[in-house]
C-alpha cells in the first residue's frame, strides 16, 4: 500500500486533488481511498488530504502518519507545518516552488523534488490553481500512477475547456519533473 | 489488482453520493431532511436527483428543522408512503421526541445517520453518541463498516422495517466524515436488482378517509402496556428477519456484510475484539498482523445494536479467553460504552464465562491509530492471562490536558 499526504491551504483544492488521485488509481486497476483531514475548513488555513493506493481492498481508516509521498501545494506552509513529518526514508516530497530542492533545507532523508506549478498553472490554465498540476508532477516523480489516468479523471470531473486545460498542464508538469522539458 | 469483471461495476465516488444513490433506487415517495454536517452531502445529492427528475413519484419536503423533517415523514408514512431522511448529531437529538412517535405508531420510516459527536463542547466530528442516545426510541439500529455496506443496508432495512409482522422504523448508522466524506470504490445499487429485492411498501394499515383508522391515539393504563409489549415483540421478530434479509440480499447482489453480527478470524480466536462501525476496518488490519505472528485474535462485528443480538453474541464469544469491547460512546456516570454494558448484561445469565473489558474510543473524532488498537490487544492478552484490573477506560486519553 502506498500512502500520500497532500498539504495545502483551504481553497487550494487539496481535497479535490486527493479525490482525483483515488479515481485515477482505480482506473489503473488499483484499490484506492481518499479523505480529508476533516476540519472546520477556512480559506487560507493549512489543510491536509490523504490518499491510499493498494493492490488489495483498503480497510484502514486512520489518518496517514508515515506517508510514502507528500505533496506541498504552497511553499509558505514550510514555515509553519512539518510537511516531512513521518515520511518514509525512501519517500518523495514534491513542493510547488521556484526554489531548488536543496535550498528548502527540509529535515528529512526522503527525496525532495520541486516544480514551479504556479507558473505552469498560470501559463496553461490561466489561474494560479496548482492542485491538478501537482498530480502531473506526482505521476512523473513516482511512477505510481499513469498520467493518462489522472488526465481522464480531471476531464470527467471538469468536462469541456477547463478539463482540457488542466490535462495539458498535468502533461507539462509530468514532463518538467521527469526532466523531459524545461 | 482489482478483478476486472468486478471493476466494471465499481466507481470511485464520495460515500454520501453512494448513499443518496442507494436511497434513490429504493424508490422513496417522500423525502424530508434538514442539512447538517456531516450529513449535508447526502441531502444535497438527493435534492439534485429530485430536481433532475430522477426519483419518480417522490416529493422532497423542505423543512425548517429536523423536528419538522421527521414529523413530515410520520404523516407521509401513515398514509402508506415509503419515506427517507438523513441526519446526525444535534439534528438527531432534535428529532428525539418524534422518534418515539414514529416507532410507537409503528411507521417504518428509514433514515441514514452520519454519526457525529454531540455538544457541548461543540464538535462536528465522528463518534456514536448521537445514535446511542436514541437506543430506547424503539428504532432498529444497524451500524455499517464501509461505504458499500452503508448503501447495501438501506434496501435491507426497508425490507425489514416494512414487513407487516414488524413495522418498526430504522436507522442505518454510518460514521460521519470517515464514511460520508471518503472516496472509495463502490458498486452503486442497480435499479433492476433493487426492484427485484425490495417489493413496494404495502402496509396492512394506512390512514385513509375511505376506511378511517386512528394512529397513535390515547392509550390509558388499561392498554398502554400492551402497546409496549407488541412493540418489543416486533423487535424480537426483527432478529431473524435481519439475518434472513442479509442472506436474501446476498443471493440477489452477491454481497454479504453480516446479519446481526459478523465474524472475522473468529472461529479459533482466543482474544476477541468487539465493535461497531468503520473502526472494524482498522481493527481487521491489526488482527491480520497478529495472525501473521500466529496469535489467535479475532473480530466480532456487531451490526445490529437494536434489536440486540444476545444469543448470537453469547455464542460467538463462548470459547474466547478474553473479550474487549470498543465503544465510540460513553454513558456518563457508568464509565462504560453502551455495547460494553449490554455485552456484559447478556452474558451474565448465560453459561458463558469470559472476562470482558471495555474501552471508550474516538470521542469527537479523535483518530484511532493502528498502534492504539495493538495496545488494546496487548492489554486484553494480559486480562486473559491474569484477570481484569481495569474494567473500562478511555483510550488515548491525554493526561497532560487534564
Q: What is the ipTM, given to two decimal places?
A: 0.95
**pLDDT tens profile B202-214:** 999 999 999 999 9
B124 CB neighbours in chain A (<8 A) are: 38, 40
Q: What is the mean pLDDT of chain B?
A: 97
Sheet holding B271-275, edge to edge: B261-264, B297-302, B271-275, B322-327, B356-360, B392-394
Mutate to test the interface with B, among A27, A38, A152, A156 (most CBs of B within 10 A): A38
Continuous H helices in A28-160: 101-104, 117-120, 131-142, 147-157
Residue with cell 481495569: B390
pLDDT in tens, A89-119: 999 999 999 999 999 999 999 999 999 999 9
pLDDT for B1 beyond 80: no
pLDDT bin (cut points 50, 70, 90) of residue A37 is: confident
Give yes or no for B279 touching A (CB within 8 A): yes
- Whether the per-residue pLDDT at A39 is higher than 90: the answer is no
Q: How far apart are the first and last CA of chain A?
A: 32
B2, A59: Cβ pair inside 8 Å? no
Average pLDDT on A44-55 reads 94
Q: How confident is the model at residue A40 (pLDDT cuts 50, 70, 90)?
A: low
Per-residue pLDDT of B344-376, as tens digits, reads 999 999 999 999 999 999 999 999 999 999 999
Quick: pLDDT tens for B239-283.
999 999 999 999 999 999 999 999 999 999 999 999 999 999 999
Are residues B1 and A30, on separate chains, in Cβ contact within 8 Å? Answer: yes
CA distance A177 to chain B (A): 27
CB contact at 8 A, A68 and A43: no
Q: Which residue of B has its CA nearest to A153?
A: B12
pLDDT digits (tens, 9 = 90+) for B147-203: 999 999 999 999 999 999 999 999 999 999 999 999 999 999 999 999 999 999 999
Residue A38 pLDDT greater than 90, yes or no: no
> For residues A57 and B282, what is the distance between their CA atoms, to the nearest angstrom?
12
With 90 as the cut, is the pLDDT of residue A136 above it? yes
Percent of chain B with pLDDT over 90: 98
pLDDT band at A41 (very low <50, low <70, confident <90, very high): low
User: For B194-208, b where at least 16 C-beta lie within 10 A, e where not — what string?
Assistant: beebbeebebeeeee
Q: What percent of chain B has pLDDT over 70?
A: 100
pLDDT (tens digit per residue) in B324-346? 999 999 999 999 999 999 999 99
- What's the pLDDT score for residue B289? 98
Residue B302 has pLDDT above 90, yes or no: yes
Q: Would the pLDDT of B6 be above 80?
A: no
**Interface with chain B: mutation pick from A31, A61, A149, highest number of B CBs within 10 Å:** A61
Per-residue pLDDT, A181: 82
Q: Which residues of B touch A65 (CB under 8 A)?
A: 369
Q: Give the strand pairing for A46-54 and A31-36.
A: antiparallel
B141 in A contact zone (CB under 8 Å): no
Nearest to A33 among B184, B280, B370 (CB): B184
Tell me the nearest-neighbour CA distance from B212 into chain A, angstroms. 51
* Residue A56 forms contact with B (CB below 8 Å): no
- The residue-averaged pLDDT of B48-73 equals 97
Q: What is the mean pLDDT of residues A28-35?
A: 96
pLDDT digits (tens, 9 = 90+) for B64-84: 999 999 999 999 999 999 999
Provide the whole-model pTM.
Answer: 0.96
What pLDDT is recorded for position B2? 73
Collect all residues of chain A within an 8 Å Cβ-Cβ radius of residue B282. Answer: 59-62
Amino acid at each position: 500500500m502506498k500512502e500520500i499526504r497532500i498539504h495545502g491551504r483551504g481553497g487550494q483544492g487539496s481535497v479535490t486533488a486527493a479525490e482525483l488521485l483515488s479515481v485515477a488509481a482505480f482506473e489503473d486497476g488499483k484499490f484506492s481511498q481518499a479523505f480529508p483531514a476533516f476540519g472546520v475548513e477556512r480559506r487560507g488555513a493549512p489543510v491536509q488530504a490523504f490518499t491510499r493506493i493498494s493492490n488489495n481492498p483498503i480497510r484502514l481508516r486512520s489518518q496517514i502518519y508515515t506517508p510514502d509521498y507528500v505533496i506541498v501545494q504552497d511553499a509558505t506552509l514550510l514555515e509553519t507545518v512539518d510537511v516531512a513529518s513521518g515520511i518514509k526514508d525512501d519517500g518523495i516530497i514534491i513542493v510547488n516552488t521556484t526554489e531548488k530542492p536543496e535550498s528548502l533545507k527540509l529535515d528529512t532523508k526522503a527525496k525532495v523534488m520541486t516544480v514551479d506549478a504556479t507558473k505552469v498553472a498560470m501559463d496553461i490554465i490561466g489561474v494560479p490553481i496548482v492542485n491538478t498540476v501537482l498530480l502531473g508532477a506526482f505521476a512523473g516523480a513516482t511512477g505510481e500512477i499513469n498520467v493518462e489516468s489522472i488526465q481522464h479523471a480531471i476531464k470527467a470531473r471538469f468536462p469541456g475547456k477547463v478539463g482540457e486545460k488542466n490535462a495539458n498542464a498535468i502533461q507539462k508538469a509530468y514532463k518538467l519533473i521527469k526532466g523531459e522539458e524545461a | 489488482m482489482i478483478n476486472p469483471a468486478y471493476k466494471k461495476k465499481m466507481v470511485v465516488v464520495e460515500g454520501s453520493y453512494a448513499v443518496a444513490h442507494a436511497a434513490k433506487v429504493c424508490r422513496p415517495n417522500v423525502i424530508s431532511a434538514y442539512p447538517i454536517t456531516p450529513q449535508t452531502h447526502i441531502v444535497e445529492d438527493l435534492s439534485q436527483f429530485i430536481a433532475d427528475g430522477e426519483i419518480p413519484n417522490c416529493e422532497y419536503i423542505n423543512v425548517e428543522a429536523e423536528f419538522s423533517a421527521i414529523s413530515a415523514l410520520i404523516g407521509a408514512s401513515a398514509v402508506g408512503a415509503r419515506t427517507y431522511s438523513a441526519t446526525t448529531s444535534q439534528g438527531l437529538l432534535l428529532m428525539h421526541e418524534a422518534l418515539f412517535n414514529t416507532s410507537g405508531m409503528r411507521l417504518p420510516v428509514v433514515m441514514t445517520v452520519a454519526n457525529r459527536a454531540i455538544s457541548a463542547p461543540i464538535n462536528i466530528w465522528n463518534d456514536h453518541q448521537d445514535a446511542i442516545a436514541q437506543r430506547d426510541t424503539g428504532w432498529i439500529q444497524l451500524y455499517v463498516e464501509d461505504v458499500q455496506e452503508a448503501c447495501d443496508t438501506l434496501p435491507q432495512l426497508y425490507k425489514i422495517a416494512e414487513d407487516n409482522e414488524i413495522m418498526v422504523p430504522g436507522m442505518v448508522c454510518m460514521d460521519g466524515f470517515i464514511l460520508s466524506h471518503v472516496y472509495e470504490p463502490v458498486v452503486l445499487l442497480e435499479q433492476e436488482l433493487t426492484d427485484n429485492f425490495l417489493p413496494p411498501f404495502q402496509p396492512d394499515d394506512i390512514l385513509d378517509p375511505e376506511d378511517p383508522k386512528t394512529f397513535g391515539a390515547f392509550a390509558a393504563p388499561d392498554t398502554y402496556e400492551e402497546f409496549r409489549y407488541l412493540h418489543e415483540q416486533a423487535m424480537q421478530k426483527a432478529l431473524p428477519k435481519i439475518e434472513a434479509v442479509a442472506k436474501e440480499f446476498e443471493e440477489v447482489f452477491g454481497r454479504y456484510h453480516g446479519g446481526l453480527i459478523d465474524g472475522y478470524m473468529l472461529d479459533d480466536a482466543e482474544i476477541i475484539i468487539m465493535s461497531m462501525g468503520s473502526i472494524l476496518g482498522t481493527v481487521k488490519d491489526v488482527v491480520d498482523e497478529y495472525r501473521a505472528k500466529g496469535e489467535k485474535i479475532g473480530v466480532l462485528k456487531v451490526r445490529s445494536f437494536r434489536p440486540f443480538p444476545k444469543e448470537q453474541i453469547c455464542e460467538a464469544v463462548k470459547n474466547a479467553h478474553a473479550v474487549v469491547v470498543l465503544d465510540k460512546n460513553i454513558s456518563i456516570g457508568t464509565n462504560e460504552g453502551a455495547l460494553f454494558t449490554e455485552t456484559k448484561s447478556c452474558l451474565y445469565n448465560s453459561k458463558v464465562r469470559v472476562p470482558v473489558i471495555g474501552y471508550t474510543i474516538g470521542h469527537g473524532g479523535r483518530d484511532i491509530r493502528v498502534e492504539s488498537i495493538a495496545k488494546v490487544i496487548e492489554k486484553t492478552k494480559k486480562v486473559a492471562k491474569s484477570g481484569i484490573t481495569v474494567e473500562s477506560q478511555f483510550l488515548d486519553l491525554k493526561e497532560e490536558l487534564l
